[in-house]
C-alpha cells in the first residue's frame, strides 16, 4: 500500500498510458482528416457539457468553419494529443486546469494568446501563452429529487454516506476526468486534508464506494435527468443547464466546502488547421463567446456573470464555500493521487 504522504518525484508524471488504456484506440472525429481549411477540431468538447454544443454551433454560424463536438474527457484528450504528436489531428484542446502543466510538459501546445485573453487574470493563464482559462465552474451536487425514494436533498459531503443514498451517488472517474479529480480534491480539502495528505479524501471516497457509489469516464449528466444517477458530484453549471432543460434537479454546494475549477484552452502544436484554431480561440474570448459560455452557467473569465443569469444560480454566500487553490500544485500532485486512489479505492 502506498503511504498517503508519499512525495511526488519528478516535476510532472504523464497520465498517457493510463488514459490510453481507458479510451482505447483514439479515433479522430468525422471530417478531422479533411485538411481543406473548412474545419477546426477541438478535443474534449461534449455537446452536453455546459453550453459547448451552442458555443461551437454559433462559431460555425459566425465563420462558416465546421466545428464538431468531441466526447473525450481531459485525460483522454491529453493521451490522444500525445499519441498523435507526430501527426496531430486536433487544433484546439480544452481541459480542466489540473492538466495544464502536463500539456505543457508534453509539448503538445504552442504559444498563442487569443485576442482579448490579455484581460484574463495572470494566475489563470500560462505566462508563456500556452494555455488560458476560458471559464470556471464549482464542484457541486446535482440532485434529481424525484429519484431519492423520499430522502431529502443532501446538503453536505457527510449526508452522501447515509444509507438513505445507497446506490444513488456518482462521480466521474478521478483518474481520467478533470472534474473527477477536482471533486476528490474538493472533498479532501473540505474534510481537513491537503496536497501532502490525501487521507481524508481517500477515506471518504471509500465510504462512498461502500455506499454503492458509481464512477463514469464520460459526462454523466443525462443519467441524472433519467434518474439513473440521482446524485452526481459534478460542476454547478451542468446542474443549472439540466434544470433549464426541464429536469427537476437541485444544485447544492456542500456545507463543509467545495472547490472552484478553471477550465483552459490552448492551440495544439502542429495543428493541421492552425488558422481556424486561432479563430476559434479568439471567438472563445470575444464578447459573444464569453456570453455563450455564461449562458450555460459557466462563469466567464472576462467580466461578470450577466445579471439575469446570476439571479438563477445559488446566492453568493453559497459560493463563498468554494475555495480557490494553487492549481499548478494540484496538477503536479495529480499522478500521486491517481496512484493512491487506484491502490486504496479503485472501482
Considering only CA atoms, which of 111, 129, 109, 107 is closest in space to residue 120? Answer: 129
Considering only CA atoms, which of 138, 164, 37, 172 is closest in space to residue 91? Answer: 37
| Mean per-residue pLDDT, 209-237 | 93
pLDDT given at position 1: 30
Residue 34's CB: how many other CB atoms inside 10 A? 13
pLDDT single digits (tens) 264-306:
999 999 999 999 999 999 999 999 999 999 999 999 999 889 9
pLDDT given at position 335: 93
pLDDT single digits (tens) 90-104:
999 999 999 999 999
The cell for 60 is: 460555425
Instruction: Tell me the whole-structure pTM to 2 decimals.
Output: 0.83
Q: Residue 13: pLDDT above 50?
A: no
More confident residue, 17 or 216: 216
CA separation for the pair 184, 214 (Å, rounded): 14
CB-based contact 44:70 (threshold 8 Å): yes
**DSSP sequence for 228-273:** SSSEEEEEHHHHHHHHHTT--EEEE--TT-EEEEEEEEEEETT-TT
pLDDT given at position 37: 52
Show the domains of the chain with their CATH numbers: 16-136+260-316 (3.40.190.10), 138-259+324-344 (3.40.190.10)
Q: Quote the DSSP letter at residue 303.
A: S
pLDDT band at 141 (very low <50, low <70, confident <90, very high): very high
pLDDT band at 30 (very low <50, low <70, confident <90, very high): very low
CB-based contact 301:120 (threshold 8 Å): yes
Amino acid at each position: 500500500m502506498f503511504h498517503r504522504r508519499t512525495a511526488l518525484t519528478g516535476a510532472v508524471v504523464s497520465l498517457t498510458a493510463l488514459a490510453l488504456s481507458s479510451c482505447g484506440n483514439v479515433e479522430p472525429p468525422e471530417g478531422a482528416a479533411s485538411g481543406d481549411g473548412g474545419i477546426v477540431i477541438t478535443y474534449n468538447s461534449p455537446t452536453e457539457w455546459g453550453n459547448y454544443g451552442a458555443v461551437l454551433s454559433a462559431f460555425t454560424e459566425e465563420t462558416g468553419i465546421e466545428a464538431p463536438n468531441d466526447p473525450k474527457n481531459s485525460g483522454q484528450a491529453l493521451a490522444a494529443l500525445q499519441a498523435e504528436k507526430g501527426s496531430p489531428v486536433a487544433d484546439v484542446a480544452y481541459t480542466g486546469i489540473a492538466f495544464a502543466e502536463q500539456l505543457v510538459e508534453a509539448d503538445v501546445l504552442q504559444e498563442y494568446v487569443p485576442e482579448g485573453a490579455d484581460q484574463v487574470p495572470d494566475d489563470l493563464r500560462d505566462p508563456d501563452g500556452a494555455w488560458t482559462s476560458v471559464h470556471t465552474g464549482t464542484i457541486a451536487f446535482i440532485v434529481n429529487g424525484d429519484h431519492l425514494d423520499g430522502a431529502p436533498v443532501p446538503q453536505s459531503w457527510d449526508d452522501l454516506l447515509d444509507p438513505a443514498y445507497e446506490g444513488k451517488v456518482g462521480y466521474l472517474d478521478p483518474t481520467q476526468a478533470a472534474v473527477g479529480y477536482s471533486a476528490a480534491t474538493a472533498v479532501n480539502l473540505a474534510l481537513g486534508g491537503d496536497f501532502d495528505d490525501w487521507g481524508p479524501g481517500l477515506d471518504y471516497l471509500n465510504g462512498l464506494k461502500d455506499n454503492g457509489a458509481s464512477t463514469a469516464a464520460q459526462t454523466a449528466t443525462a443519467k441524472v435527468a433519467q434518474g439513473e444517477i440521482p446524485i452526481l458530484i459534478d460542476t454547478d453549471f451542468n446542474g443549472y443547464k439540466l434544470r433549464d432543460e426541464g429536469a427537476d434537479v437541485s444544485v447544492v454546494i456542500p456545507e463543509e466546502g467545495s472547490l472552484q475549477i478553471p477550465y483552459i484552452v490552448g492551440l495544439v502544436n502542429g495543428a493541421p488547421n492552425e488558422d481556424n484554431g486561432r479563430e476559434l480561440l479568439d471567438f472563445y474570448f470575444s464578447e459573444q463567446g464569453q456570453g455563450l459560455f455564461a449562458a450555460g452557467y459557466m462563469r466567464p473569465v472576462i467580466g461578470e456573470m450577466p445579471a439575469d443569469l446570476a439571479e438563477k444560480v445559488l446566492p453568493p454566500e453559497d459560493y463563498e464555500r468554494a475555495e480557490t487553490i494553487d492549481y499548478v500544485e494540484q496538477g503536479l500532485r495529480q499522478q500521486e493521487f491517481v496512484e493512491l486512489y487506484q491502490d486504496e479505492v479503485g472501482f
